[in-house]
Amino acid sequence: MKPLNVAIVGCGVIAGPYSKDILTHPELELVGFYDLDPARAQKHAAEYGGRVFGSYEEVLAAPDVDVVVNLTIHHAHHAVVKQALEAGKHVYGEKPLAMSYREAAELVRLAQDRGLRLACAPIVFLGEAQQTAMRWVREGKLGTVRMVYAEVNHGRIEVWHPAPQPFYEVGPLFDVGVYPLTVLTALFGPARRVSAYGTTLKPDRLTKRGVPFRVEGPDYLALHLEFEGGPVVRLTANFYVSHRTVQGEGIEFHGDAGSLHLVRWFERDARLEYADFEKPYEPVPLDKTPERGFDWSAGLLDMAEAIAQGRPQRVTGAQAAHVVEIQEAAYRSIETGRPVELTSSFEVPAPMPYAAAEQA
């Protein structure tokens, strides 16, 4: 297949891992970088190859750029993606797709109207542990799944990050709750209703340099999600408790016959455990032995293969937009104290080939 030519826009911390992983796949060609700070783009080009673009307009005008990889800051996502789609480029971006569902839905419609591919992280559901867990649920090995617990205990950002304030401005649901939400929607399809509670556990905090700052939004959220014809999900997300202390950064699927525990929703080689009803958990082998580490380019690779094969891609803007609707609705539910109905939809992604049917 002809390689998909990629230009990275936004050369922050995550651009390095993306670039490194892109270079491992012959299906992808890294042609260059653009950043508002030319020095950062030059640094990445010197390390990973490709050229430095002098402006975003130059990226969009380049005939050898097939897809824009949007790694800019959260609040720039909508404008950057929209401009790329209007220029006729496919787009793969970091989460969230946009900061509001209205903007996210606009991008999905624009991509459809232009016949372009639009994809958005996170891609955690493509991992071997996640795919195995999803196959077990799909095949009814737990019986009918009626309840799911998902935990996001992401600790206190200020103990490790020199500039923690933007994380608290976005909040734990948008920053990290998006990961289990993406796994769950990839498995069960669109959610139909959300009820949420949120509060600020620790409003007054200190940076690593001892500079005080105040958290204005919720640093703890609890959601109840209802899926049409599916389970009730209880998801909690916080910037207070550390997953290094508690055993809670995973997803538990509870069915009539038994329970399945994905110990970590992020890690592709996470431990997977099954228990018959009222029995202790026992290890479950994964359907495929995972590669080491996390492949940041896996969604891009799936896009390249989908284009070459003329099939739907697994990582889509439509699913990312639905997740944004869930997140936005959760905050509306917190404000009103009432459940919020969800209206958006998307096609459930196809399983990876090795997880498409029960393994012999």
* Residue 163 shares a structural domain with residue 149: yes
* Dist. CA 297–CA 301, nearest whole Å: 6
For residue 107, give its domain range. 4-120
* Residue 176 shares a structural domain with residue 70: no
* Residue 160 shares a structural domain with residue 16: no
Render pLDDT for 14-30 as a digit per residue (tens, 0 to 9). 999 999 999 999 999 99
* Residue 37 shares a structural domain with residue 144: no
Helix (H) or strand (E) holding 153: strand 145-153
Mean pLDDT value across the chain: 95
Burial level of 304, CB count in 10 A (0-12/13-18/19+)?
buried
User: What is the identity of the amino acid at 267?
Assistant: E
List, in sequence order, every residue forming a beta bridge with 51; answer none if it has no partner. 32
pLDDT more than 70, % of the chain: 99
Instruction: Kindly report the CATH number assigned to the domain that includes residue 114.
Output: 3.40.50.720
Looking at 142-192, list the stretches that DSSP marks H as alpha helix, in order from N- to C-terminal side: 165-170, 172, 178-188
* Residue 143 shares a structural domain with residue 286: yes
Tell the residue number behind the tokens 């509306």, with chain if given.
Answer: 332
Confirm whether 167 is domain-assigned: yes
* Residue 38 shares a structural domain with residue 185: no
Q: Kindly report whether the peptide bond that precedes residue 122 is cis, defined as omega within 30 degrees of 0.
A: yes
* Residue 72 shares a structural domain with residue 214: no
For the residues 211-215, what does the mean pLDDT come to? Answer: 97
Give the end of a domain, one of 57, 87, 120: 120
* Residue 131 shares a structural domain with residue 115: no
Render pLDDT for 243-293 as a digit per residue (tens, 0 to 9). 888 877 899 999 999 999 999 999 999 999 999 999 999 999 999 999 878
The answer to whether residue 358 scores a pLDDT higher than 70 is no
* Residue 170 shares a structural domain with residue 106: no
Confirm whether 308 is domain-assigned: no
Reported pTM: 0.95
Give the end of a domain, one of 120, 155, 170: 120
* Residue 139 shares a structural domain with residue 284: yes
Confirm whether 298 is domain-assigned: no
Render pLDDT for 148-173 as a digit per residue (tens, 0 to 9). 999 999 999 999 988 899 899 999 99
Give the end of a domain, one of 120, 139, 168: 120
* Residue 84 shares a structural domain with residue 173: no
Pairing of strands 145-153, 118-120: unpaired
Confirm whether 306 is domain-assigned: no
Question: Which residues fall within 8 angstroms of residue 5, CB to CB, at 6 or more apart?
Answer: 29, 31, 64, 65, 66, 67
Instruction: Kindly report the CATH number assigned to the domain that includes residue 153.
Output: 3.30.360.10
Residues 73 and 97: beta-carbon distance below 8 Å: no
List, in sequence order, every residue forming a beta bridge with 67; answer none if it has no partner. 6, 90
Q: How many CB atoms lie within 10 A of CB 189?
A: 19
Question: How many domains are there within the chain?
Answer: 2
* Residue 212 shares a structural domain with residue 98: no
DSSP 292: S
